[in-house]
Structure 1
Amino acid sequence: MSVFLQTDRLTLRAADDADVDHVLELHNDPEVMRYINSGQPISRETFVRETLPRFLRTFPCTGDRAFFIAQERDTEMFLGWFEFRPTADDSCATVELGYRLCRKAWGRGLASEGARALIRKGFTELGVERVIADTMTVNARSRRVMEKAGLRHVRTFFEEWPDAIDGSEEGDVAYELTRSEWERQNGPTA
């Protein structure tokens, strides 16, 4: 197991082929996927062809993957995944934060805990200068995680999507946190 980081309650490790069944089950939970694709199921074939390559991709600027399986630290139970993906192959200056957890992990502060740990590692070890994230305006839970992790709302925007999702008429929101903002909140990284 290639551990990327640990918190008091979580282990985040690089995703691998053995995670397909767990992640596919997560991606087929209609409540988990409510603000992603209206909870529509995804086939194993589509997941393996379209999603798995993103999970297994290594980024040159970090030498590591950008998707990390979240497990309960004590039991190693699968809880979901986190994304900390550079927006450019050759630079870790800006990374996108994402997360998707099983319903059994909801309401326990685990998404905020994992997000804060990734942000800390990014700013203190990976040379990250800015963390970005976005979600639907109506996705209050995800927005709260971003805020608890220190990100601030920077804009609301509207895009045309092929399939409307309930609440999409209210647009999407973008959040960000810069290294200098994080240092003001947490102290210098040096």
Structure 2
Amino acid sequence: MAEPLDITTERLRLRPWQDSDRAPFAAMCADPAVMEFLLPVPDRAASDALLDRVQAGITARGWGFWAVELRSTQTFIGFIGIQVPGAQLPFSPCVEIGWRLAAAHWGRGYATEGARAALAYGFERLGLDEIVAFTTVHNQRSRAVMQRLGMQADPDTFKHPAVPSGHPLQEHVLYRLPRNRWGPA
């Protein structure tokens, strides 16, 4: 078991999950805008189970999809971090970077700011050679964050194995960032 840590940026704190995060996380997972490009989380029990799995990864490794709060108010706004994907993907093994923020906090650069800190942790502290990101081909907001991070899209898309066959969200795009192309902004 690794010691979980906090990562702070100018405006954010990436930290282990707390019980007080459960209700706002469930509300975020129930928001159709937040979940537009994600498979639905059917109810509070499923939301709590997802939170438990994410925290278990942090407890085991010391890193993962950390809860994110605003430093100025200690308000929970979502998650940002790096993790080993649960699904076997065409490009596995890999470490992915990801984020999910409450819609009220979109458009302020929080995803990019927190993701840069997570990339720094992955490359500088863990010594990873590459970090990937992926999303459904239609998720332009997340793709824009990936591009701001300096990630480049693979020319080919892939069908995400955890998304049901024929589902409109199954087709995904993969972005990659090798350590030799990364540099903090």
TM-score when scaled to structure 2? 0.82
> Which amino acid is the alignment partner of residue 145 of structure 1?
V
The alignment yields a C-alpha RMSD, in angstroms, of 2.6
Asked if 1 retains the 8 angstrom alpha-carbon contact of 2:96 and 2:131, the reply is yes
Deviations 1:43-94 (A, max 9, x none): 1122234x1332221368x841412111111111111111311359xxxx94
Unaligned runs of 5+ in 2: 87-92
CA distance in 2, matches of 1:129, 1:82: 20
Name the structure where strand makes up a greater proportion of residues. 1
Distance of 2:172 and 2:61 partners within structure 1? 31
> How much has 1:110 moved relative to structure 2?
0.7
Cα distance in 2 for partners of 1:97, 1:65 equals 11
Q: Helix, strand or coil for the counterpart of 1:58?
A: helix
Q: CA deviation at 1:164?
A: 5.5
Residue type at the aligned position of 1:99: W
Whole-Å separation in 1 of the counterparts to 2:85 and 2:45: 27
Question: Match of 1:44?
Answer: 44
Count of aligned pairs between the two proteins: 174
User: Sequence identity of aligned pairs in percent?
Assistant: 31
Q: 1:127 to 1:94 in 2, by over 3 A?
A: farther
1:163–1:75 Cα change, 3 Å: farther
Asked if 1:131 is matched to 2:126, the reply is no
User: Mean Cα displacement is larger for which, 40-49 or 155-164?
Assistant: 155-164
Corresponding position of 1:178: 178
In structure 2, the residue matched to 1:35 is 37
CA, structure 1 residues 5+27, in 2 after alignment: closer, same or farther (shift >3 Å)? same
Q: 1:127 to 1:86 in 2, by over 3 A?
A: farther
The 3 A distance-change label for structure 1 pair 36 and 87 is closer
Match of 1:14 among 16, 24, 29: 16
Greater radius of gyration (CA): 1
Residue 76 of structure 1: which of 57, 74, 77 is its match? 74
Q: TM-score by structure 1 length?
A: 0.80
Which consecutive residues of structure 1, in runs of 5 or more, have no partner in the other structure? none
Q: Name segments (4+ residues, structure 1) moved above 6 Å.
A: none
Q: Contact 2:116–2:184 (CA<8 Å) still a contact in 1?
A: no
